[in-house]
Amino acid sequence: MALVVVVAGAWFGYQRLSGLSCSGELPLVVSATPEIAPALQSVADQWQVDGGAVDDTCVAVQIVASDPVDVAAVLAGQHGVALAGVGQASGTAVAPDVWVPDSSTWLLRLSSLAPGFSPTNNESVARSPVVIAMPEPVATTLGWPDQQLTWTDLLQQITTGINLRTGIVEPTRDAAGLSGLLALGAAASEAGENAQQATTAALRTLATGRSALREDLLARFPRSADPASVASSLSAAALSEEDVIEYNATEPPIALAALYLEPAPMSLDYPYAVLPGADPAKAAAADGFFELLNEVAFRDQLGDRGLRASDGTWGTGFSAPQGAPSPAGTAPATIEPESGGTAAGGLDPVVIDRALATWTSVTLPARMLAVIDVSGSMLEPVPSAGNATRADVTREAARRGLGLFDDSWALGLWIFSIELDGEQDWRELVPISPLSSQRATLEASLAEVVPKQGGNTGLYDTSLAAYRTVQDGWAAGRVNSVVIFTDGRNEDDNGLTQEQLLAELAEVADPQRPIQMIYIGIGDGVSQQELEAVTEVTGGGVFVTEDPANIGDILLKAIALRPTTGG
């Protein structure tokens, strides 16, 4: 009888501890990037067998394998923001209770735009260093595996050499591509006076070999051991270590080497993000599931799938690429956009915005009319820019932007105040035409961006005229846009009223031939509400900075966030 009592007591205790006595069902939807989803599914299945529960209610964890870009699109839509390059959500993606993307940069990009997006936990559950993947014969010519290469070495190879065919997965949609872009950008920034030239050259080289999907990029590596095939195929791309392991597991004719360049680029860190709005029961279930991801069993599950544990070491079953260090990769990221100015492994979120904006401006063909305010207030000095005038700062931003746009762009330039050309408030300096034939003309014309003493701001008449001009020459296959730089409100008493401007734009706007109106407001005299009333009719966006010294970054950000549909 004593034995029976002990056994019965043990069984009752096991039931209480394991939750086998639970009833009902509490669903917990976890959306995870595809490479980690099977490991999470194994843990979820075992937890269900063991009777995982919250307050005696059984937890049913549903793991949904989803590309991070698809979930990011859903969440951006929920919060009324647009992530550069992400586009609209697909019909199949859903907002989960817990999101495990491949990188904290997704969380950072969302939280920096949408204050209401504030997920909790955010701890890393796995890691995969970002490497440069190269066919082994190509890597050998660069000294692999004995020589330690740097990002500066790679930058020199891709901008001055002829032997490397480089590629990248679209960095606005792929975290490993973004990491590689940031690392190359940091290397280029060390080129001193030639930094912009080095950056532009690197991005244009990458852009010639970019792919929208990782699978497409991987398919461009050599499919034959024939030297001619190796020479004509993709020879270098920023990918995750897990990508290389998975690729080599298929036993391709030419295996890929994983080059761990210094300084180490931002790793994929697989954050466990409990999304805002979860009720207390689901939040408790999410916490319970997370605890299981700190156990040895999960580390081994990760190893079987080519992933490291969050500390950069690996469990059993991990097939390390030749030369792989352990631990490896950067520390897990933080996602708070106000965490002392740094985030995502020590990166300022502004750095990510700038990198993506520069990438977009360099690689996205467009047809644009730039319109610069030359009213009297543009003579106001800017203390943060060494007391250069607002016009000086704007001219310099335009000159730098011009250096980023390649010859596929078509660009025109106007200036405006009031009565610059008879009773007309604007004057055309250069008509919209290909940069390939008028880059020097445009740069020289910037010298004519000179403020008119005492001139007012004829904003409304100019806006309508610029819109109609771009519409008259609308080009398919490009983003057609008007970019207006202004430091004030409409001050033309003899021109259109706001009501008349909005009515005219609503009448001429054609959804089949979209034109983005982009306003870049300079200083504290701009009414953002006034400008947003226009872009609500036309599409586009309003970007205002009280410090005109920031106008260069604002210009890049404005260009990067242009919708690309329809154009």
Of the three residues 226, 259, 292, the one that is the final residue of a domain is 259
In a domain, 356, yes or no: no
Residues 300 and 323 grouped into a single domain: yes
- Res. 314: pLDDT tops 80: yes
Task: Please report the pLDDT score of residue 16 as a whole number.
Answer: 36
3-class state of residue 540 by DSSP: strand
- The answer to whether residues 257 and 128 touch, using CB atoms and an 8 Å cutoff, is no
Q: Is the pTM of this model over 0.75?
A: no
- Res. 304: pLDDT tops 60: yes
Residues 396 and 500 grouped into a single domain: yes
Cis? peptide before 27, omega within 30° of 0: no
- DSSP-assigned letter for residue 333: P
Residues 326 and 193 grouped into a single domain: no
Task: Please report the pLDDT score of residue 18 as a whole number.
Answer: 43
Beta bridge partners, 369, equal 412, 482
pLDDT confidence of 4, banded at 50, 70, 90? very low
Residues 400 and 502 grouped into a single domain: yes
- Res. 515: pLDDT tops 80: yes
Task: Please report the pLDDT score of residue 334 as a whole number.
Answer: 65
- Res. 461: pLDDT tops 60: yes
Encode 193-202: b = buried (16+ Cβ within 10 Å), e = exposed: eeeeebbbbb
Task: Give the model confidence (pLDDT) of 95-144 as tens digits.
Answer: 899 999 999 999 999 998 888 899 999 999 999 999 999 999 999 999 99
Task: Please report the pLDDT score of residue 520 as a whole number.
Answer: 92
Highest mean pLDDT pick, 177-186, 252-261, 478-487: 252-261
Angle, CA of 249, 295 and 176, to the nearest 5°: 45
Residues 323 and 194 grouped into a single domain: no
Please list, in sequence order, all residues whose beta carbon lies within 8 angstroms of the beta carbon of residue 56, skipping any fewer than 6 positions away: 19, 21, 22, 23
Q: Which of 202-206, 480-484, 485-489 has the lowest mean pLDDT?
A: 202-206
- The answer to whether residues 240 and 131 touch, using CB atoms and an 8 Å cutoff, is yes
How much is the average pLDDT of 45-74?
Answer: 94
Of the three residues 346, 380, 402, the one that is the final residue of a domain is 346
pLDDT confidence of 360, banded at 50, 70, 90? confident
Task: Please report the pLDDT score of residue 76 as a whole number.
Answer: 92
Q: What's the number of domains the chain is made of?
A: 3
Among the listed residues 182, 534, 489, 542, the one whose alpha carbon sits nearest the alpha carbon of residue 333: 182
Q: Which tokens is 441 given?
A: 């003309």
How much is the average pLDDT of 478-483?
Answer: 89
Distance CA 558, CA 538 (A): 15
Residues 447 and 463 grouped into a single domain: yes
In a domain, 50, yes or no: yes
Spatial strand order in the sheet of 57-65: 53-54, 57-65, 23-32, 98-100, 271-274, 120-124
CA distances from 408 to 171, 208, 361, 389 (A): 20, 13, 11, 32
CATH number of the domain enclosing 155: 3.40.190
How much is the average pLDDT of 202-225?
Answer: 87
Distance CA 324, CA 11 (A): 47
3-class state of residue 431 by DSSP: strand
- Res. 2: pLDDT tops 50: no
Arithmetic mean of pLDDT over the chain: 87
Q: Which of 41-55, 151-165, 257-271, 432-446 has the lowest mean pLDDT?
A: 151-165
Burial class (CB in 10 A: 0-12, 13-18, 19+), 166: buried
Task: Please report the pLDDT score of residue 60 as a whole number.
Answer: 95
In a domain, 390, yes or no: yes
In a domain, 10, yes or no: no
How much is the average pLDDT of 405-429?
Answer: 92
- Res. 3: pLDDT tops 50: no
How much is the average pLDDT of 232-243?
Answer: 95
How much is the average pLDDT of 369-373?
Answer: 95
Residues 394 and 542 grouped into a single domain: yes
How much is the average pLDDT of 227-245?
Answer: 93
- Res. 185: pLDDT tops 50: yes
In a domain, 524, yes or no: yes
In a domain, 6, yes or no: no
Of the three residues 225, 259, 293, the one that is the final residue of a domain is 259
Beta bridge partners, 520, equal 485, 543
Task: Please report the pLDDT score of residue 390 as a whole number.
Answer: 93
In a domain, 283, yes or no: yes
Task: Please report the pLDDT score of residue 335 as a whole number.
Answer: 60
Cis? peptide before 431, omega within 30° of 0: no
Number of residues that this document lists for the chain: 567
The range of the structural domain enclosing residue 228 comes to 130-259
Residues 201 and 325 grouped into a single domain: no
Q: Which tokens is 204 given?
A: 């244009």
Q: Which of 6-10, 236-240, 287-291 has the lowest mean pLDDT?
A: 6-10
Residues 179 and 249 grouped into a single domain: yes
pLDDT confidence of 208, banded at 50, 70, 90? confident
Distance CA 293, CA 282 (A): 17
Sign of CA dihedral 513, 172, 401, 547: positive
Task: Please report the pLDDT score of residue 561 as a whole number.
Answer: 52
Quote the percentage of the chain above a pLDDT of 90.
61
Task: Please report the pLDDT score of residue 156 as a whole number.
Answer: 86
Residues 78 and 196 grouped into a single domain: no
Task: Please report the pLDDT score of residue 162 as a whole number.
Answer: 65
In a domain, 11, yes or no: no
CATH number of the domain enclosing 554: 3.40.50.410
pLDDT confidence of 15, banded at 50, 70, 90? very low
CATH number of the domain enclosing 306: 3.40.190.10
Beta bridge partners, 240, equal 130
Task: Please report the pLDDT score of residue 10 as a whole number.
Answer: 34
Residues 123 and 134 grouped into a single domain: no
Distance CA 118, CA 294 (A): 23
DSSP character string of 32-63: E-TTTHHHHHHHHHHHHHTT-EETTEEEEEEE
Distance CA 560, CA 360 (A): 5
Residues 253 and 305 grouped into a single domain: no
